[in-house]
């Protein structure tokens, strides 16, 4: 994976981040979701480099081989604000004062926070397979609670760790090497078999139901919106439309300059349909 990319650990303050980066041209930060690592982009990143971009693929704090911050009572060490701050410092360290940010799944919340907290740095924003956490919780109904029960289970103390660590491969059995690629799958297995990583990934969800929601609701009360062009992409074979109808309608109050469409794929579109995803990203980011 990532032939020609540099693979480094970079100190961003509270933690060190594992990051792969390469290419020349406008900078694009790709932010993975749960329970992936930066390796989820291994079929997209080289294609973007071929299109003339510099591509940066970190493991978020707490995930993969990146550092784990000390746990706080309010779980703010894994807040999207903290993660976004890491990534802003990472891009500055790599020499990218202005860049595009694209996030998938849990990474879409981090990308949103980057655009809101660091508007001078983010030139273009791409969010994939998600709506803001506060919007999801405000719309939560019996269907969401049934299909996305893990949001609420993961937020409980201790028991999720015990359940996952008892048999990580069974818990994440949907992850298949034939779909993900062997090396990407091996990175995922290493992550889910590390109890410290499992705890940090669960802290992501605990922060989501508390401090992250509070941050977003404060943004809405203050009238803060995304100041750059925004692209929403979602997987046609996933459930975003089933949950929200038109996902663009959910995002419009947050992003005045918004466009978007579905891509024929299951949830992990960077792994399942990297060609169409690359086309969509390259067309928007130019």
Specify the long-range contacts of residues 241-249, CB closer than 8 Å, at least 24 apart. 242/143, 243/136, 243/139, 243/143, 243/144, 243/147, 244/131, 244/139, 247/131
Whether 11 is catalytic is no
C-alpha closest to that of 271 among 173, 182, 181: 181
E strand intervals along the chain: 6-11, 16-23, 27-31, 54-58, 99-104, 122-128, 230-235, 258-263
Task: Give the count of alpha carbons within 13 A of 194, CB side only.
Answer: 18
Whether 118 is catalytic is no
* Whether 178 contacts 268, CB under 8 Å: no
CA 168 to chain centre: 21
Catalytic residue among 105, 129, 204, 219: 105
Catalytic residue among 42, 96, 215, 267: 267
Contacts of 91 (CB under 8 A, 6+ apart): 27, 29, 56, 97, 99, 121
C-alpha closest to that of 234 among 90, 128, 142, 140: 128
DSSP 232: E
Q: Which residues are catalytic?
A: 105, 267
């Amino acid at each position: 994976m990532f032939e020609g990319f540099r693979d480094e650990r970079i100190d961003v303050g509270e933690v060190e981040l594992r990051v792969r980066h390469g290419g020349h041209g406008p900078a694009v930060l790709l932010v993975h979701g749960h329970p992936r690592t930066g390796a989820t982009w291994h079929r997209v990143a080289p294609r973007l480099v071929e299109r003339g971009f510099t591509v940066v693929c970190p493991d978020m704090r707490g995930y993969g081989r990146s550092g784990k911050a000390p746990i706080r009572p309010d779980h703010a060490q894994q807040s999207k604000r903290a993660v976004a701050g890491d990534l802003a410092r990472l891009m500055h360290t790599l020499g990218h004062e202005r860049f595009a940010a694209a996030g998938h799944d849990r990474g879409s919340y981090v990308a949103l926070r980057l655009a809101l907290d660091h508007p001078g740095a983010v030139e273009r924003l791409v969010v994939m397979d998600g709506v803001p956490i506060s919007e999801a919780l405000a719309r939560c109904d019996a269907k969401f609670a049934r299909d996305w029960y893990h949001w609420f289970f993961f937020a409980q103390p201790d028991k999720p760790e015990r359940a996952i660590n008892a048999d990580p491969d069974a818990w994440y059995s949907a992850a298949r090497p034939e779909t993900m690629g062997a090396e990407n799958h091996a990175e995922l297995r290493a992550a889910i078999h590390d109890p410290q990583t499992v705890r940090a990934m669960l802290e992501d969800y605990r922060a989501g139901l508390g401090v992250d929601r509070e941050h977003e609701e404060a943004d809405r009360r203050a009238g803060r919106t995304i100041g750059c062009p925004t692209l929403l992409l979602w997987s046609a074979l996933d459930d975003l439309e089933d949950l929200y109808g038109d996902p663009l309608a959910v995002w419009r109050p947050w992003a005045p300059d918004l466009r978007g469409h579905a891509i024929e794929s299951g949830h992990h579109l960077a792994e399942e349909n990297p060609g169409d995803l690359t086309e969509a990203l390259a067309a928007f980011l130019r």
